[in-house]
Amino acid sequence: MLALFALWWRLSSGPIELDIATPWLTAAIKENLGAGHEVEIGGTQLERDAKKGRTSLRIRDIVVRDADGTIVASAPKAEVGISGVSLLLGRIRAERLSLVGAEMAVRIESDSKLTVFAGSNKRPFVTASAASAPAPSQPIRSPANAERAAGAARPEPPASAAPLAPAAPASVRSSVPDLAALIAWIERLDASGLDGRELTEIGLQGGNLTVDDQRNGKQWTFTNIDLSVTRPKGGGIAVALGSHSLERPWHLRAAMTPGQQGHRIIDIETQKLSTKDVMLAMRLNADQYESDLPLSGRIRADVGPDGIPYMLDGRIVVEKGLIVDLDDPLVRVPIDRAEISLDWDKSRRALVAPFQVVSGGTRITLLAQFESPHDGSGIWGLQISGGGAVLASAPVDPHALVLNRVLLRMRINPAKQRIDLDPSEVGNTDLGIALTGSLDFSGDDPRITLGFASTRMSVAAMKRLWPVTVASKVRAWVVDHVQAGTIERIDISTNAPWSTLKSSGPPVPDDGLLIQLTGHGGEMRPVEGLPAIRDADVNLHISGRTAVINIGRGNVDISSGRKLSITNGVFEVPDTFPKAPPAKVRFRLDGSVPAAVELLSMQRLRDFSGAPIEASTSRGTLTAQVTLALPLKEDLAPGSSLYTVNMDIANFAAERMVMGQKVEAALLKVSANNLGHWIRGDVKMNGVPSVLDYRKPRDGDADVRVQATLDENARSKFGFDLGGVLTGPVPIKLSGRVAANDGDSRFAVEADLTQSKVDNLLPGWVKPPGRPGRATFTLIKQPPATRIEDLVVEGAGTSVKGTLEVDAAGDVVSANFPVFAVSDGDKATLKAERGADGALRVSVRGDVYDGRGFVKSTLTGPANSKQKTDKDVDLDIKIGTVVGFNGETLRGLDLRLSRRSGVITSLALNAKLGRDAPLTGDLRGRGSNGRQLVFIESNDAGAFFRFTDMNSKVAGGAMWVALDPQSADLAPQEGILNIRDFVVRGEAALERVAAAPEQAGGGSPGVQFSRLRVEFTRSLGRFTIRDGLLKGPTIGGTVEGYIDYHRDEVRMRGTFVPLYGLNNMFGQLPIVGPFLGGSNEGLLGVTYEVVGPPSTPVLRVNPISAVAPGLLRKFFEFPGGNAPMPAQSYAEPAGRY
């Protein structure tokens, strides 16, 4: 005892070297392996195995070579046990051998043959054919202990010996030949040892195992593997396999021990054994499906000598895992828990297997019964019934499907390798499913035939029943995009090779698969992020690889009160075989424009549609044909779907649709696709009839073409209120680009000005209606400014070219007209630039300029109060010759004018008029208050009046005009005109009154006047004259009335007083003077009026008035034309001259 304790204490501190035993151990192992192998051992030691609690004899660095010297196996350590019997007989043989820390590799060849390497991949250690199965070479018997010890077979015992169990029917034995052969092979191991002699235990401790499957190129590595194959003392064989891996430990223990009468007792127990490893070990084809499910359980069986089980029971538990299709990621079956119990009924020769599977909210609890052949046909029966199934997508699923009526009947024929599904049913009280079919796996490619028909069910039930492996891509789309509805009927038939139903297999033939479905009240969402289609009538047809869904009608609820109707919808997948099969969709859409606009404005379509209108500011009804092309996959990348929309819109209206303008149309056509949209038709833009062509690319600026005729009202609506300088209709053509966001918009504009009237649209340009005129330019909107480039104005004698820029308020920022000719013969240029102080500085230079239009507009003022004028402006005009009316010209014109806040602050005018008479103008202060007045004077009043077309019959005279400067509010201007020493010629009526003698040759010297003084008021296009006094040596008179340039009308009246000096004396008398003619008239006089256009007025006199003296003449006066002016506060001239 003391020696044993000392040995134990020594082993606890470390191994004991026993190299003296190395030669004996080498010889023992070589004896087990045979003469064809050489064994090399690095050393021997005795150590204690703490894990197993025993002392072991171990060798180091063992190497096994074949006859050629090639290493076939190696290990850093090995544990060896020596047979005591062989040692007594003088032959050293190993009884136990375990490799420690060895690297082993198993290669599965392409023909499924196994090749085992132990520490070397040059020469295999063991090879085995997949097709070969060990078979007994003699009748199976129950060996005795002595027979196992001697290792020799004895003759079969007589009948009086322990009898065999009654023979099972031949049909049963023939159905399980492999099990009997396997038992026979194990019997030989039990009888002769694991090496055919005394070896009772072999194993691998803490080793690594690599499995290389040459069939599919996959490789698995198992680390820290323990393997033990032993022959228990009572007989039989036991296998223990497991892994102590920290990530996922697992264990498998199996034992077969001898029973009575040649029976064998089999006991198999597993703990967390992966199904993936089981399938790998059984060399089952895992190319398509991969399952990683931990298995735990125990199976016990009593197998007779003929291989037929007399007793079998057990329980297997499957823990949480996943079954996936390696070729189709859509096919994923998660398993939360599964449990199956096994019970062999010997009297019925049937295996009863109740089972339960839990996957998410799905729970299946059924009973399977396998019945062995009874009639010698070799056909097994399988029936699944009882219990029921709850199919749900989650533990709490309101649409869970409960199937409480399940009956599946199958016949399994191992000889013909065929499984037939007899007429079966699955259902509940609300729905029923009839099933029939077969699976023929006798050929290289199994063939499956299936018939499936159902009664009415909900869409939720249909999705629960649709197998994940059947048309998985279409099924995935239906599961994700179809929410509700009622299925009237489903018919499914399959007759195709199994490989064609696999995702990685060849395509399904056209007659291999047929699915037909009819439903109503469907609700589906074809594209995520868009509203669902509701109340849809649906018809599904899948034939082979083609899937078609027809939608008879349906509704799309956009928002409260807005709805779109879908009819004639077709969803087609021409080929479901590709990974992301392409799908085609087409349908008709009817509804309101606001609903469609709201749909296009949703996040999913916003980037594609670029809709230029808003739902809240639009109206109309539409009919559209829509087509889509998209791949069937989970996440659609931008641009992966293609669409085309052709739309007709009736009674359409939308605010701010094109260039910020309202668009209306009785019928509008709209086309759209991934590249953009196109709107065209006869429309009203802001109430103006127009022809619109609007094209908006998806990623670019919009192209717009507009044809319209704009009058004053239309131009005002478009923001081109020209204040009366342009009146009448103007046909335009506009084409260009509407920039997105804050970009620059560019338009080419053509305007026909023939039917319009132009009044100083450009300085001095006046054109009546009917005279040809045309303008072309490029309009560039550069917020906040608008630029007009390449401006060309052409007409009768008019040619203007240049550029113009205005700001957001319509004020001129800059202008440059290198060609500025408003009449034939003009040679002038115009430039304008707004300075830092906000004043517009205008410079005009030229040799010749037709100033008739400019002069007339200057005299008459703006056409109306709305006509916009620049309040701050500096004018600098220098022109050699300015052409006026009646052949008169201004020569050497030099005009400088400044205006601030609408009031003239400085004026300097110099020119030559008539016969080199000077014409000057400036601002002068008059009166005690020093008020500024515009003062113009000349020594040739007749030339001035002819130049301005005020009166062509006045000759000579010195004149001056004093006038209030124009104010910012365009208030009427008060002024005085004073002329001295002038002559009026060609006025016959005046000459008759004055009794002027004719000169020799029939000419008339005219009527001379010494003075003319008139007070006037200048308002918008109108001169109102009052208190006019005319004096001369032979005749005098009074005048009042108006000249209205807008109405092209003159209406003045007064009294001519002959012999003015003598006749007027009576009116100067005190008290009676007013009765005798007044201070400005005389005792005798003739009333007159001047009427007609300003250019050619007509003088008419009333000769009867000559007989009415003094006050009585008032009864013979012509009607007055001066209307009362509105009460306003106007500035009065500071003095009278």
Digit-coded pLDDT (tens) for 31-52: 666 666 777 787 777 666 655 5
Provide the mean pLDDT of the chain. Answer: 78
Do the beta carbons of residue 47 and residue 70 sit within 8 Å? Answer: no
**Over 246-276, what HEC string results?**
CCCCEEEEEEEEECHHHCEEEEEEEEEEEHH
Model confidence band, residue 354 (pLDDT cutoffs 50, 70, 90):
very high
Helix then strand then coil, % of the chain, to nearest 5: 15, 50, 35
Separation CA 593–CA 534 (nearest Å) = 19
Separation CA 1105–CA 1121 (nearest Å) = 19
> Up-side HSE of residue 147: CA atoms within 13 Å toward CB?
16
Q: 663: part of which helix (H) or strand (E)?
A: strand 661-673
Digit-coded pLDDT (tens) for 496-538: 998 887 767 788 888 888 989 899 988 888 777 788 888 889 8
Count of C-beta atoms within a 10 Å radius of residue 796? 10
pTM: 0.60
Amino acid sitting at position 687? G
Q: Which is nearest to 1128 in space by CA: 967, 963, 971?
A: 971
Mean pLDDT of 1080-1106: 75
Query: Strand 766-767's sheet: what is its strand order?
Result: 726-727, 757-759, 766-767
Do the beta carbons of residue 1020 and residue 1102 sit within 8 Å? Answer: no
Residue 234's pLDDT is 75
- Name the region of 260 (left: φ>0; alpha: ψ -120 to 50; beta: rest): beta
Residue with tokens 């699944």: 384
Residue 11's pLDDT is 54
Count of C-beta atoms within a 10 Å radius of residue 538? 26
Residue 164's pLDDT is 37
Residue 190's pLDDT is 53
Do the beta carbons of residue 1054 and residue 1025 sit within 8 Å? Answer: no
Whole-number Cα distances in Å, 692 to 647, 670, 678, 686: 16, 11, 10, 13
Separation CA 564–CA 267 (nearest Å) = 69
Do the beta carbons of residue 708 and residue 686 sit within 8 Å? Answer: no
Query: Strand 289-292's sheet: what is its strand order?
Result: 289-292, 321-325, 328-335
Look at the chain and count its residues: 1137
Separation CA 250–CA 319 (nearest Å) = 13
Residue 789's pLDDT is 92
Model confidence band, residue 879 (pLDDT cutoffs 50, 70, 90):
very high
Separation CA 1111–CA 899 (nearest Å) = 48
Q: Which is nearest to 765 in space by CA: 880, 851, 845, 879?
A: 851
- Name the region of 51 (left: φ>0; alpha: ψ -120 to 50; beta: rest): alpha
Nearest 5°: CA angle at 950, between 947 and 956? Answer: 65
Name the phi and psi angles at 451, rounded to 5: -125, 130
Question: What is the residue extent of each domain of the chain?
Answer: 956-998+1005-1116
Mean pLDDT of 116-131: 57
What is the bridge-based pairing of β-strands 201-213 and 103-108?
parallel
| Alpha-carbon torsion (1071, 1076, 1082, 1087), positive or negative | positive
Digit-coded pLDDT (tens) for 566-611: 899 898 988 887 878 888 889 899 998 888 888 877 776 666 666 6
Separation CA 875–CA 842 (nearest Å) = 5
Do the beta carbons of residue 205 and residue 79 sit within 8 Å? Answer: yes
DSSP code string of 927-953? TTTTEEEEEEEES-HHHHHHHTTS-SS
Residue 147, both tokens: 């027979």
Residue 931, both tokens: 């008020």
DSSP code string of 429-495? SS-EEEEEEEEE-SSSS-EEEEEEEE-SEEHHHHHHHS-TTSSHHHHHHHHHHEEEEEEEEEEEEEE
Do the beta carbons of residue 317 and residue 337 sit within 8 Å? Answer: yes
Whole-number Cα distances in Å, 125 to 191, 197, 743, 1132: 24, 19, 79, 131
Mean pLDDT of 1063-1084: 55
First to last CA, the chain: 160
Residue 176's pLDDT is 43
CA dihedral 239, 245, 248, 253 (to 10 degrees): 10
Mean pLDDT of 198-224: 75
Model confidence band, residue 98 (pLDDT cutoffs 50, 70, 90):
confident
- Name the region of 746 (left: φ>0; alpha: ψ -120 to 50; beta: rest): beta
Name the phi and psi angles at 67, rounded to 5: -65, -25
Window from 374-388, 411-425, 623-637, 1049-1063 with minimum mean pLDDT: 1049-1063
Query: Residue 650: pLDDT above 50?
Result: yes
Separation CA 388–CA 939 (nearest Å) = 124
**E-assigned strand segments in 840-984:** 840-850, 873-883, 889-900, 903-913, 917-926, 931-938, 954-955, 958-963, 973-984
What is the bridge-based pairing of β-strands 873-883 and 840-850?
parallel
Beta partners for residue 208, in sequence order:
103
Query: Residue 297: pLDDT above 90?
Result: yes
Query: Residue 892: pLDDT above 80?
Result: yes
Digit-coded pLDDT (tens) for 165-188: 344 444 444 444 444 555 555 555
Q: Is 408 exposed, middle or buried (0-12, 13-18, 19+ CB in 10 A)?
A: middle
| Alpha-carbon torsion (354, 357, 363, 364), positive or negative | negative
**E-assigned strand segments in 760-811:** 766-767, 773-782, 785-795, 799-806
Q: Which is nearest to 730 in space by CA: 777, 692, 769?
A: 769
Count of C-beta atoms within a 10 Å radius of residue 78? 27
Separation CA 407–CA 296 (nearest Å) = 29
Residue 1132's pLDDT is 38
Query: Residue 634: pLDDT above 80?
Result: no
- How much of the chain, in percent, has pLDDT values that exceed 70? 76
Do the beta carbons of residue 1056 and residue 1082 sit within 8 Å? Answer: no
Residue 935's pLDDT is 92
Separation CA 929–CA 4 (nearest Å) = 144
Whole-number Cα distances in Å, 921 to 586, 907, 908, 961, 975: 80, 7, 6, 9, 14
